[in-house]
């Protein structure tokens, strides 16, 4: 027994204590944490993983690139694995917990400067600790007419962190990595890489042109452990002259394929330029009702109960939202086209809906989903498929069957984005109930496994499934990732296990 909650693998308590001493010398005592009490906030996972497998050995808080370099030097010397987090709000994927036990969390939330916003070009340069709320406030205080695109828990999340996880949002800038431009990366050996146009002396174009010259590197620093990203360029959407959010409702499960095919055509024709989110009835209900209010039996809420509650609240079997942006004159022909197209396949079109996430209104409303059962358990299951009706229907059927078999509701929001569909499913469960947690984990396992058998992979996964998912993506991918890892981080100190990449 030591005084530590966990030790970095291979280190004795005495060695770890010496390393912490050096880290305290660099950062002061306050920013080096290894006592249980202060570590607890960093251990609050939502996913149904065994807590003990993901206990960090401590936390170090950097305030500058120089400090990040100093921390890396010490961790290289002691071979201490370091798990970087931005604001640590990776909810439903592991929050701030490391993929493997005993890693030292590198907390970057104090590096929270908005370094530049160019109102004309619609660009920003931010540090890891900047939140969407902070950037939103910055823009409104200065009357800069630029919008943000943010994921569910928007206000408290880091644009840099979410982009590195390849997260998404609901405006035309919803693909966050596609709208990032230029990185600063501290490599494991302390060298600082600026990607794209960023490494030209007196560069003019770091935040305007992504690719630079030679291999385009930015992608390899997303969902990976090849470096510590300390600055990220963002593209921000000019506030449109107007917008109109449309709700299209479908009453029958069997209308899903036609809805998806219609949406894909409209998106590929760029009549609709943001994602189309298709909430199931339970998903829509969960934003303002709890499961207990509807039903207190075991298993998933029975379909007749859901249908009745949905009817009472004006909710349909499938509830699709998207937004048309532009002047009234630009919106009018597009609204006519989408209305005709969706009505032709039996959709009910309401052109006066409201969804803050599609029009730059930050809120924590999406947390409502956690109240569905209570107990704080959430794991996102996010398989990718072609945006094709037949695939969507196959996925819906699979998901409903597997979730139901384990007693969970089909809380889903298949999100259409042109050619692809992210079938977002929230596995919500009571994390305080050990049996339910275990059931949730078994359910997740079966979802991953059966979807893979049908040729569907996930775009992102929680820290406890990284190895398994990487396995599904095959050995050559894994070998290539490992080779790059070895080239850029020979001691393997950065986030071992991230995306299944081990030193």
Among 178, 254, 308, 364, binds a second copy (CB under 8 A): 178
Q: Is 415 in the site for a second copy (CB under 8 A)?
A: no
Strands of 32-33's sheet, edge to edge?
32-33, 58-61, 104-107, 82-85
Minimum separation from the CB atom of position 230 to a second copy (A): 14
Q: Is 388 in the site for a second copy (CB under 8 A)?
A: yes
How many Å is the Cα radius of gyration of the chain?
Answer: 23
Q: Is 100 in the site for a second copy (CB under 8 A)?
A: no
CA distance 175 to 498: 21
Residues 429-468 that bind a second copy (CB under 8 A): 452-461
Q: Is 488 in the site for a second copy (CB under 8 A)?
A: yes
118 contacts: CB under 8 Å, gap ≥ 6: 124, 207
- For 367-403, b/e burial (b = at least 16 CB within 10 A) is eebbbbbbbebbbbbbbbbebbbebbbbbbebbbebb
Q: Is 170 in the site for a second copy (CB under 8 A)?
A: no
Q: Is 340 in the site for a second copy (CB under 8 A)?
A: no
**Locate tokens 């590096």: which residue?**
111
Integer CA distances (angstroms), 330 to 266, 276, 326, 334, in order: 15, 19, 6, 7
Q: Is 171 in the site for a second copy (CB under 8 A)?
A: no
How wide is the angle at C-alpha 383 spanned by C-alphas 156 and 250, nearest 5°? Answer: 90
CA distance 57 to 372: 33
Q: Is 479 in the site for a second copy (CB under 8 A)?
A: yes
Q: Is 65 in the site for a second copy (CB under 8 A)?
A: no
Minimum separation from the CB atom of position 502 to a second copy (A): 12
CA distance 166 to 174: 10
254, with CB counted inside 10 A (0-12, 13-18, 19+), is exposed
Among 47, 148, 426, 501, binds a second copy (CB under 8 A): 501
Q: Which stretch binds a second copy (CB under 8 A): 1-9, 292-300, 427-435, 477-485?
A: 477-485
Q: Please, which residue, 41 or 490, has the CB nearer to a second copy?
A: 490
CA distance 233 to 194: 11
Q: Please, which residue, 207 or 319, has the CB nearer to a second copy?
A: 207
Q: Please, which residue, 103 or 273, has the CB nearer to a second copy?
A: 273
CA distance 302 to 404: 10
Q: Please, which residue, 156 or 193, has the CB nearer to a second copy?
A: 193
Q: Please, which residue, 202 or 298, has the CB nearer to a second copy?
A: 202
Q: Please, which residue, 19 or 234, has the CB nearer to a second copy?
A: 234
Q: Is 243 in the site for a second copy (CB under 8 A)?
A: no
Among 44, 110, 166, 243, binds a second copy (CB under 8 A): 166
Residues 308-327 that bind a second copy (CB under 8 A): 325-327
For 19, other C-beta atoms within 10 Å of its C-beta total 23
Q: In 3-state terms, the chain is what percent helix, strand and coil (to 5)?
A: 40, 20, 40
Q: Is 27 in the site for a second copy (CB under 8 A)?
A: no
CA distance 267 to 270: 5
Q: Is 345 in the site for a second copy (CB under 8 A)?
A: no
Among 104, 469, 494, 495, binds a second copy (CB under 8 A): 469
Site string for a second copy, 122-141 (x = CB under 8 A): xx------------------
Minimum separation from the CB atom of position 484 to a second copy (A): 6
Among 103, 319, 441, 499, binds a second copy (CB under 8 A): 499
DSSP lists the bridge partners of residue 237 as 147
Q: Please, which residue, 292 or 332, has the CB nearer to a second copy?
A: 332
Number of residues that bind a second copy (CB under 8 A): 99
Q: Please, which residue, 124 or 426, has the CB nearer to a second copy?
A: 124
Q: Is 143 in the site for a second copy (CB under 8 A)?
A: no
Q: Please, which residue, 60 or 470, has the CB nearer to a second copy?
A: 470
Torsion-angle region of 167 (φ positive above 0: left; ψ -120 to 50: alpha; else: beta): beta
- Structure tokens belonging to residue 438: 């275990």
Q: Please, which residue, 28 or 328, has the CB nearer to a second copy?
A: 328
Q: Is 288 in the site for a second copy (CB under 8 A)?
A: no
Q: Is 216 in the site for a second copy (CB under 8 A)?
A: yes
Whether 134 contacts 110, CB under 8 Å: no
Integer CA distances (angstroms), 352 to 113, 121, 243, 244, 324, in order: 38, 31, 10, 7, 11
């Amino acid at each position: 027994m030591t005084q530590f909650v966990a030790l970095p693998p291979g280190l004795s308590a005495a060695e770890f204590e010496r390393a912490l001493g050096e880290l305290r010398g660099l950062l002061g005592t306050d920013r080096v944490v290894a006592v249980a009490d202060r570590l607890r906030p960093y251990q609050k996972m939502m996913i149904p993983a065994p807590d003990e497998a993901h206990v960090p050995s401590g936390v170090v808080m950097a305030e500058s690139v120089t400090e990040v370099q100093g921390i890396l030097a010490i961790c290289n010397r002691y071979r201490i694995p370091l798990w970087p987090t931005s604001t640590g709000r990776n909810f439903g994927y592991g929050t701030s917990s490391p993929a493997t036990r005993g890693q030292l969390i590198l907390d970057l939330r104090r590096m929270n400067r908005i370094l530049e916003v160019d109102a004309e070009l619609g660009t920003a340069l931010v540090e890891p600790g900047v939140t969407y709320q902070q950037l939103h406030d910055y823009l409104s205080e200065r009357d800069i007419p630029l919008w943000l695109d943010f994921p569910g828990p928007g206000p408290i999340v880091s644009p840099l962190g979410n982009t590195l996880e390849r997260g998404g949002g609901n405006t035309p800038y919803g693909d966050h990595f596609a709208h990032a431009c230029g990185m600063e990366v501290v490599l494991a050996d302390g060298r600082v890489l600026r990607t794209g146009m960023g490494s030209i002396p007196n560069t003019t174009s770091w935040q305007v042109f992504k690719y630079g010259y030679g291999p385009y590197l930015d992608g390899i620093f997303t969902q990976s452990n090849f470096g510590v990203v300390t600055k990220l360029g963002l593209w921000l959407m000019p506030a449109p002259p107007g917008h109109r959010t449309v709700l299209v409702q479908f009453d029958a499960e069997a209308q899903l394929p036609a809805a998806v095919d219609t949406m894909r055509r409209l998106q590929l024709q760029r009549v609709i330029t943001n994602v189309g989110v298709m909430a199931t009835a339970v998903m829509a209900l969960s934003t303002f009702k709890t499961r207990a209010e509807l039903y207190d039996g075991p298993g998933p809420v029975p379909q007749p109960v859901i249908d009745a509650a949905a009817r009472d609240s004006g909710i349909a079997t499938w509830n699709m939202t998207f937004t048309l942006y532009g002047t009234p004159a630009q919106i009018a022909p597009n609204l006519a086209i989408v209305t005709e197209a969706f009505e032709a396949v039996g959709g009910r079109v309401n052109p006066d809906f409201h969804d803050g996430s599609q029009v730059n209104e930050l809120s924590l409303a999406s947390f409502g989903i956690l109240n569905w059962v209570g107990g704080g358990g959430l794991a996102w299951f996010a398989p990718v498929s072609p945006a094709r009706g037949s695939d969507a229907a196959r996925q819906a059927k699979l998901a409903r069957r597997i979730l139901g078999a384990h007693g969970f509701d089909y809380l889903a929001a298949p999100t259409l984005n042109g050619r692809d569909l992210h079938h977002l499913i929230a596995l919500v469960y009571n994390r305080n109930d050990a049996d339910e947690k275990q059931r949730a984990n078994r359910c997740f396992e079966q979802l991953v496994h059966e979807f893979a058998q049908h040729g569907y992979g996930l775009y992102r996964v929680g820290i406890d499934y990284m190895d398994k998912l990487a396995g599904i993506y095959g050995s050559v991918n894994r070998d290539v990732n490992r080779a790059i890892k070895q080239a850029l981080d020979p001691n393997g100190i950065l986030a071992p296990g991230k995306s299944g990449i081990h030193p």
